[in-house]
Amino acid sequence: MDRHVAKRYRLIEPLGEGGMGIVWRAHDELLDRVVAVKEVRYAGVGDRRREELNRRTVREARAAGRLDHPAIVVVHDVVEEDGRPWIVMQLVPSRSLAAAVKRHGPLPVPHVARIGLAVLSALRAAHAGGVLHRDVKPENVLLADDGRVVLTDFGIASSESDPAMTGTGHLVGTPAYMPPERLNGLPATPASDLWSLGATLYTAAEGRAPFGGDSWAAAVAAVLRDRPEPPRLAGPLAPAIMGLLHADPAARMSAAQAEAILHAAQAQHSTAVSFAGAGGGALPGQAVTPVPSTLHGAPRRRSPVLWIVPAAAIVVAAAAGGGWWWLSGTGTGTATGPTTSPTPTTSPSTTPTPSTSATPSPDPAALPRGWRRVASEAGGFSIGLPKGWTAAKHQTRASVNFSGPGAQGQLTVEWTEHEKDYSDESAHWRDLESQIMERGEFKAYRRIAIRDLTYQGVPAADWEFVRERGGVQIHVINRGFRTADGRPFALYWEAPQYSWAADLKYFTAFARTFRPS
């Protein structure tokens, strides 16, 4: 063919086509270089609406052209011809992340971490320049032949008042990678791009999108209605992925928090990270082991295990009407810890956490500011939760998991009866520890302390230890006790060692606000 755009760019062949137009390989005859030219098309809209979208596309593409970042495809030029915009970009020899996942399946953790860091860096640079991407998805993440990870397709117009729809009501983009606020008609924000990044990393790590469906409508319904199944293969990346996929933009994990987790996950793996080029060579072997659904396999009769917590085991979301109810909206007090509460360590070492006594305030309404109290009918207890945190009942065990934004740690409350009688909670923990050691169930296990204390006026014991899971050192404190009427409980808090000091304040507040019914 011999077609020119702006009397300068000769279109050679189409490279790809989607709902927003066609990308062409083209030759810039002025500068004698090969470029990519995107022909932007808005189908099914009236002339007035099309003109508005065209103006927005040109404006945002020009703004994207001012971005200078190694992980952002360079926009060379923007022109209008034949009543539509044409965006001239750097041609990056590459294949998309979508193609890599389709060919290889789930990618190894260090690869996903590197991809996430590159895209996150690109988004942070764009957001600092006032540019939103609005269409982050595996198809727009390029794995370049030269080893770079590059984000492409900036400058796609999307009305802030009608961010996901055209004038005919058809979705623009891929709904499985659109955050719920955009599907609800709210304006796009930097947090919207972060949600899409979370969905993209989920796909890279798991080999499938977090939300699926047989149709666009089904995908939209899934994003708006469902929580994604916790990733099984993401290992230390799981907290970042789930934090970015939080439905509430205000509670969504920040870019800085996600970056810290991605860096830590990458540092835990010594595997050299490199990508095959567009030719489709093999990626390095995948040595990512799925996170087990329980810490020691199938439970025995009346299992004494009061410390199971992997996110993959938490599969049934708790909701109003499903055994949970709100007891109060938000707390108005300040977060004051137990009388002699666990105090954060100040270094990555595993110094024992002191807890000789932990008697909480007798006032059940003394919640930290912004927290709310929830109650479990099945478990017979209530507890304070920070904003954005959610509860999920284990499918088969007598336990509930709590997780949310702001912390890498998570809490499990379990109320399983012991298999046999113990003289005290310390004896229970020592017996359980010996069983674990005998079966070799914890990798790189090391006890920090088993210590007695008084908690809510009853004898209790804290079992503190470290272990390795998915290449990450996990720090645990597990508080066991029986209520005055004899009911057993355990408050199990775990966090990556790198965030232990910062996150321990959450366990302090949870222990203070826990109340048996």
Higher pLDDT, 145 or 283: 145
Domain end residue (candidates: 46, 71, 90): 90
Q: Per the domain annotation, does 298 fall within a domain?
A: no
Higher pLDDT, 470 or 427: 427
Q: Per the domain annotation, does 257 fall within a domain?
A: yes
CATH number of the domain bearing residue 169: 1.10.510.10
Same-domain status, 246 and 148: yes
Same-domain status, 121 and 205: yes
d(CA 497, CA 508): 17
- Is 213 a residue whose pLDDT tops 60? yes
Same-domain status, 246 and 325: no
Same-domain status, 21 and 106: no
Let me know the angle formed at the C-alpha of 242 by 237 and 246, rounded to the nearest 5 degrees: 150
How do residues 293-333 score in pLDDT, each as one tens digit?
222 222 333 333 333 333 322 222 333 333 444 444 444 33
How do residues 407-433 score in pLDDT, each as one tens digit?
888 999 999 887 778 888 999 999 999
- Is 120 a residue whose pLDDT tops 70? yes
Range with the largest mean pLDDT of 54-58, 62-66, 176-180: 176-180
Domain end residue (candidates: 54, 72, 90): 90
Same-domain status, 370 and 441: yes
Domain end residue (candidates: 63, 90, 117): 90
**CA nearest neighbour of 465 among 451, 454, 452, 455:** 451
Q: Per the domain annotation, does 451 fall within a domain?
A: yes
Share of the chain above pLDDT 70, in %: 75
* 389-to-372, 406, 477, 510 alpha-carbon distances in Å: 10, 9, 20, 12
Q: Per the domain annotation, does 415 fall within a domain?
A: yes
Q: Using CA of residue 512, residue 513, residue 514, residue 516, what is the dihedral sign?
A: positive
Q: Say which residues have a Cβ less than 8 Å from residue 352's Cβ, sequence separation at least 6.
A: 448, 449, 451, 464
Gyration radius from the chain CA atoms: 26
> Considering the entire predicted model, what is its pTM?
0.53
Same-domain status, 250 and 388: no
Catalytically active residues are 135
d(CA 31, CA 283): 35
What does the CA dihedral 372, 373, 374, 375 come to, rounded to 10 degrees? 180
Range with the largest mean pLDDT of 49-63, 93-107, 381-395, 405-419: 93-107
* Residue 77 phi, psi (nearest 5): -160, 155
How confident is the model over 201-211, as a mean pLDDT?
93
Could you tell me the pLDDT band of residue 197, with boundaries at 50, 70 and 90? very high
pLDDT value for 155: 53
* Segment among 166-170, 396-400, 496-500 with least mean pLDDT: 166-170
Higher pLDDT, 472 or 423: 423
Range with the largest mean pLDDT of 120-129, 207-216, 320-329, 393-402: 120-129
- Is 176 a residue whose pLDDT tops 70? yes
Same-domain status, 86 and 13: yes
Q: Residue 361 corresponds to which tokens in the numbers above?
A: 């305030």
The answer to whether the beta carbons of residues 38 and 30 sit under 8 Å apart is: no
Residue with tokens 């998991």: 401
Same-domain status, 490 and 433: yes
CATH number of the domain bearing residue 80: 3.30.200.20
* Residue 176 phi, psi (nearest 5): -65, -15
pLDDT value for 270: 40
Q: Per the domain annotation, does 455 fall within a domain?
A: yes
How confident is the model over 456-478, as a mean pLDDT?
89
How do residues 374-391 score in pLDDT, each as one tens digit?
999 889 999 999 988 888
The answer to whether the beta carbons of residues 415 and 479 sit under 8 Å apart is: no
The answer to whether the beta carbons of residues 383 and 515 sit under 8 Å apart is: yes
The answer to whether the beta carbons of residues 37 and 86 sit under 8 Å apart is: yes
- Exposure string for 230-267, b = 16+ CB within 10 A, e = fewer: bbbbbbbbbbbbbbbbbbebebbbebebbbbbbebbbe
Q: Give the start-end residues of each E strand in 171-322.
A: 316-317
- Is 500 a residue whose pLDDT tops 90? no
- Is 45 a residue whose pLDDT tops 90? no
- Is 351 a residue whose pLDDT tops 70? no
How long is the chain? 517
Run of H or E residues at 430: helix 425-439
**CA nearest neighbour of 418 among 282, 500, 301:** 301
Q: Strand 316-317 and strand 390-393: pairing?
A: antiparallel
Total number of domains constituting the chain: 3
pLDDT value for 427: 92
Let me know the angle formed at the C-alpha of 232 by 299 and 243, rounded to the nearest 5 degrees: 115
Helix axes 109-128, 255-267, angle to 10 degrees: 150
Residue with tokens 């971005």: 67
d(CA 260, CA 255): 9
* Burial of 439 from C-beta contacts in 10 A (0-12 / 13-18 / 19+): exposed
Same-domain status, 477 and 397: yes
d(CA 381, CA 160): 44
Same-domain status, 125 and 79: no
How confident is the model over 3-16, as a mean pLDDT?
90
- Is 279 a residue whose pLDDT tops 80? no
Run of H or E residues at 372: strand 372-376
Could you tell me the pLDDT band of residue 11, with boundaries at 50, 70 and 90? very high
- Is 289 a residue whose pLDDT tops 50? no
* 121-to-117, 118, 235 alpha-carbon distances in Å: 6, 5, 22
pLDDT value for 1: 58
Q: Say which residues have a Cβ less than 8 Å from residue 361's Cβ, sequence separation at least 6.
A: 336, 512
Q: Using DSSP, state whether 101 is helix, strand or coil.
A: helix
Q: Residue 62 corresponds to which tokens in the numbers above?
A: 């020009």
d(CA 427, CA 187): 56
- Is 174 a residue whose pLDDT tops 90? no
CATH number of the domain bearing residue 316: 3.40.1000.10
pLDDT value for 414: 94
Higher pLDDT, 1 or 178: 178
Q: Per the domain annotation, does 296 fall within a domain?
A: no
pLDDT value for 461: 95
Same-domain status, 111 and 255: yes
Q: Per the domain annotation, does 206 fall within a domain?
A: yes
d(CA 502, CA 256): 15
The answer to whether the beta carbons of residues 227 and 75 sit under 8 Å apart is: no
Residue 77's domain comprises 3-90
Same-domain status, 137 and 179: yes
Q: What is the mean pLDDT of the chain?
A: 77
Q: Per the domain annotation, does 281 fall within a domain?
A: no
